[in-house]
Amino acid sequence: MEAPDSPVTGLLIDLDGVIYQGDAALAGAVDCLAWLEASGMPYLFVTNTTSRPRGAIVDKLAAMGVNTHRDRILTPAVAAVDWLAQQSISSLALFVPEATREEFAGFAIDSDEVGAVVLGDYGEDWDFQTLNRAFRLLMR
């Protein structure tokens, strides 16, 4: 199936509330994605979650019948990694959930001298001491 004749050259598709709600695919979402895949229209899934790495999102989608791969998912962590690489930053202070830290492989994490401070949904791990540490690193 070919993509319809349109000036649209690709799609960014949000996940939560568009493709799924909780742990269930929304009605028609799986069929729509199958049609989109068959059409050849390029697309990326986007999400603002920082609590799960892309691999966990791929697994969640697979459980709903949506087969995709990590490279088709854009998260804040992925955007941060790309930006940090463009800026030639190699050392970070990282305040993200443990599961998300894998997205930052290749960077020196929590070294004495950091080139950037990355904040995400740190959940229950936020406390005054951690927040103070992040601010002190930013003020250097």
Listed by start position, the domains of the chain span 11-74, 76-138
Q: Superfamily for 76-138?
A: HAD superfamily/HAD-like (3.40.50.1000)
List Cα–Cα distances, 71 to 50, 54, 90, 111, 136, in angstroms: 16, 8, 22, 28, 34
User: What topology is assigned to 11-74 in CATH?
Assistant: Rossmann fold (3.40.50)
From first to last of its 140 residues, the chain has per-residue pLDDT tens of 555 677 888 999 999 999 999 999 999 999 999 999 999 999 999 999 988 999 999 999 999 999 999 999 999 999 999 999 999 999 999 999 998 999 999 999 987 789 999 998 888 889 999 999 999 998 98
